[in-house]
Chain A
Amino acid sequence: MLIYALVAGVLFGLYFSLVGIGLNLVFGVMRIVNLAHGDILMLGAFVAFGVVTLAGIDPLFAVPLAFVLFVLVGLVLYWVLVPRLQGSVNPEMLSIILFFGLSQVIEAVTTIFFGTSERSIQSRLLGTVFPPSG
Chain B
Amino acid sequence: MLKITGAALVAGLACATQAFAADAPAEIKIGTLYASSGRFASISMPVHSALKLWAEQKNAEGGVYVKAFDKKIPVKLVAYDDQSNTATASTLYNQLITQDKVDLLVADSGSVLTAPAVAIARDHKMFLYDQTGTGASFFSKDNPYIALMADPVSTVWPKPVADFVSHDGPGLGIKKIAILYSTNEFTGTQANAFRKFVKESGAPIEIVYDQGVPTETTNYTVIINNIANTQPDAVIHFGYAPNDIAFLRNVADVGVNFKMLFAIYAGIETELLEKNVGEKALEYVYTYVPPSELDYPVEFGMSMKEYKAAWDKKYPDGKIEFGFNATAGYTTGLVIEKTLSVATSLDQMELRRATFSLSGNLKTLDGTFALDEMGGQIGELTPLGQLRLDDQGHIKFISIYPHETATGKPVYPRP
**A and B: partners?**
yes
Interface residues of A (CB under 8 A from B): 1-2, 4-5, 8-9, 12, 107, 111, 114-120, 122-124, 128, 131-134
Task: Determine whether the beta carbon of A4 is less than 8 Å from that of B245.
Answer: no
Q: Which residues of A contact B224 (CB under 8 A)?
A: 1, 5
Task: Determine whether the beta carbon of B254 is less than 8 Å from that of A1.
Answer: yes
Given contacts A1-B255, A116-B36, A123-B249, 14 further A-B contacts (CB under 8 A): A4-B221, A9-B222, A111-B36, A115-B45, A115-B320, A116-B35, A116-B320, A117-B42, A118-B241, A118-B275, A118-B276, A119-B276, A124-B253, A133-B256
Q: Chain B interface secondary structure, helix, strand, loop or mixed?
A: helix
Closest CB-CB distance, B248 to chain A, in whole Å? Answer: 10
Q: Provided the pairs A107-B37, A115-B319, A118-B242 are in contact, do residues A5 and B221 lie with their beta carbons within 8 angstroms?
A: yes
Q: Which residues of B contact A107 (CB under 8 A)?
A: 36-37
Task: Determine whether the beta carbon of A5 is less than 8 Å from that of B276.
Answer: no
Report which of B42, B219, B228, B253 forms a contact with A116, defined as CB distance below 8 A. Answer: B42
Total number of residue pairs linking A and B with CB closer than 8 Å: 79
Q: Which residues of A contact B253 (CB under 8 A)?
A: 4, 8, 123-124, 128
Q: Which residues of B contact A123 (CB under 8 A)?
A: 249, 252-253
Task: Determine whether the beta carbon of B275 is less than 8 Å from that of A2.
Answer: no
Q: Which residues of B contact A128 (CB under 8 A)?
A: 253
In the bound assembly, the distance between CA atoms of A118 and B252 in angstroms comes to 18
In the bound assembly, the distance between CA atoms of A123 and B221 in angstroms comes to 13
In the bound assembly, the distance between CA atoms of A1 and B223 in angstroms comes to 11
Q: Which residues of B contact A4 (CB under 8 A)?
A: 221, 253-255
Task: Determine whether the beta carbon of A9 is less than 8 Å from that of B221.
Answer: yes
Write 23 A-B pairs (CB below 8 A) sorted by A numbering.
A1-B225, A1-B255, A4-B254, A5-B224, A5-B225, A5-B254, A8-B219, A8-B250, A9-B222, A12-B219, A111-B37, A116-B36, A116-B37, A116-B319, A117-B41, A117-B45, A117-B272, A118-B245, A118-B275, A120-B275, A123-B252, A128-B253, A133-B256
Closest CB-CB distance, B367 to chain A, in whole Å? Answer: 25
Interface string of B23-48 (1 = CB under 8 A from A): 00000000000011100011011000
Task: Determine whether the beta carbon of B45 is less than 8 Å from that of A131.
Answer: no
Q: Which residues of A contact B250 (CB under 8 A)?
A: 8
Task: Determine whether the beta carbon of A117 is less than 8 Å from that of B255.
Answer: no
Interface of chain B residues 1 through 54 with chain A (CB within 8 A): 35-37, 41-42, 44-45
Q: Which residues of A contact B255 (CB under 8 A)?
A: 1, 4, 131-134
Q: Provided the pairs A133-B256, A134-B257 are in contact, do residues A118 and B222 lie with their beta carbons within 8 angstroms?
A: no
Interface string of B308-332 (1 = CB under 8 A from A): 0000000001011100000000000
Closest CB-CB distance, B277 to chain A, in whole Å? Answer: 8
In the bound assembly, the distance between CA atoms of A119 and B319 in angstroms comes to 10
Q: Which residues of A contact B42 (CB under 8 A)?
A: 116-118
| B413 on the A face (CB < 8 A) | no
Q: Which residues of B contact A117 (CB under 8 A)?
A: 41-42, 45, 272, 275, 319-321
What are the 10 A-B residue pairs with the smallest beta carbon separation, nearest first?
Answer: A132-B255, A115-B319, A116-B41, A120-B276, A5-B221, A117-B42, A8-B221, A116-B45, A123-B253, A5-B222
| B278 on the A face (CB < 8 A) | yes
Closest CB-CB distance, B331 to chain A, in whole Å? Answer: 21
In the bound assembly, the distance between CA atoms of A4 and B272 in angstroms comes to 26
Closest CB-CB distance, B72 to chain A, in whole Å? Answer: 33
Q: Which residues of A contact B276 (CB under 8 A)?
A: 118-120
In the bound assembly, the distance between CA atoms of A9 and B255 in angstroms comes to 17
A130's closest neighbor in chain B, by CB?
B255
Closest CB-CB distance, B281 to chain A, in whole Å? Answer: 9
Q: Which residues of A contact B221 (CB under 8 A)?
A: 4-5, 8-9
Q: Which residues of B contact A122 (CB under 8 A)?
A: 278
Q: Which residues of B contact A5 (CB under 8 A)?
A: 221-222, 224-225, 254
In the bound assembly, the distance between CA atoms of A114 and B37 in angstroms comes to 12
A115's closest neighbor in chain B, by CB?
B319
Closest CB-CB distance, B27 to chain A, in whole Å? Answer: 27
In the bound assembly, the distance between CA atoms of A115 and B245 in angstroms comes to 17
Closest CB-CB distance, A114 to chain B, in whole Å? Answer: 7
Q: Which residues of A contact B45 (CB under 8 A)?
A: 115-117
Q: Which residues of A contact B245 (CB under 8 A)?
A: 118, 120
Q: Which residues of A contact B36 (CB under 8 A)?
A: 107, 111, 116
Task: Determine whether the beta carbon of B252 is less than 8 Å from that of A1.
Answer: no
Q: Which residues of A contact B320 (CB under 8 A)?
A: 115-117
In the bound assembly, the distance between CA atoms of A119 and B277 in angstroms comes to 10
Q: Which residues of B contact A2 (CB under 8 A)?
A: 225
In the bound assembly, the distance between CA atoms of A15 and B342 in angstroms comes to 57
Report which of B44, B275, B278 forms a contact with A119, defined as CB distance below 8 A. Answer: B275
In the bound assembly, the distance between CA atoms of A132 and B257 in angstroms comes to 10
A120's closest neighbor in chain B, by CB?
B276
B319's closest neighbor in chain A, by CB?
A115
In the bound assembly, the distance between CA atoms of A16 and B245 in angstroms comes to 20
Interface string of B235-259 (1 = CB under 8 A from A): 0000001100100011011111100
